[in-house]
Amino acid sequence: MKRLLLFVALWGMAGLTVCPALGVLASVPMNQQINLGYGYNSQSPGGDAIYVPSFSGTDTQTIYGDGVLEPQGFTRHNLRTLPGTWWYQYVDLNLAGITVPGAGLNLSNAGATVEFDTRYFQDPETNTNPYGDAPVFVRLYTYAADGNTYLGHRDYSIVYATQPPWSNPPYPTWTHVTVSVAAGVGADGGVFDVTNVSRIRFYGTDWASGGFDFVDFKNLVITPEPASLALLGLGGLALLRRRR
Range among 50-54, 125-129, 206-210 rated most confident: 50-54
Q: Tell me the pLDDT of the chain averaged across its residues.
A: 84
159 pLDDT higher than 70: yes
122 pLDDT higher than 70: yes
pLDDT in tens, 229-244: 444 344 444 433 333 3
- The region of weakest confidence among 53-67, 119-133, 147-161 is 119-133
> What is the Rg, in whole angstroms, of the alpha carbon atoms belonging to the chain?
18
pLDDT at residue 138 in the model: 97
- The pTM assigned to this predicted structure is 0.83
Cβ distance 140 to 200 under 8 Å? yes
Our measurement of the distance from residue 186's CA atom to the centroid of its chain's CA atoms, rounded to an integer in Å, reads 19
What angle is formed at CA 181 by the lines to CA 175 and CA 182, rounded to 5 degrees?
Answer: 130
pLDDT > 70 in the chain, percent: 81
56-83 average pLDDT score: 95
Burial class (CB in 10 A: 0-12, 13-18, 19+), 113: buried
Task: Tell me the pLDDT band of 225, cut-offs 50, 70 and 90.
Answer: low
pLDDT in tens, 125-138: 888 888 777 799 99
215 pLDDT higher than 80: yes
SS3 at position 126: coil
pLDDT at residue 185 in the model: 66
How many helices and strands in the chain, by DSSP H and E? 2, 12
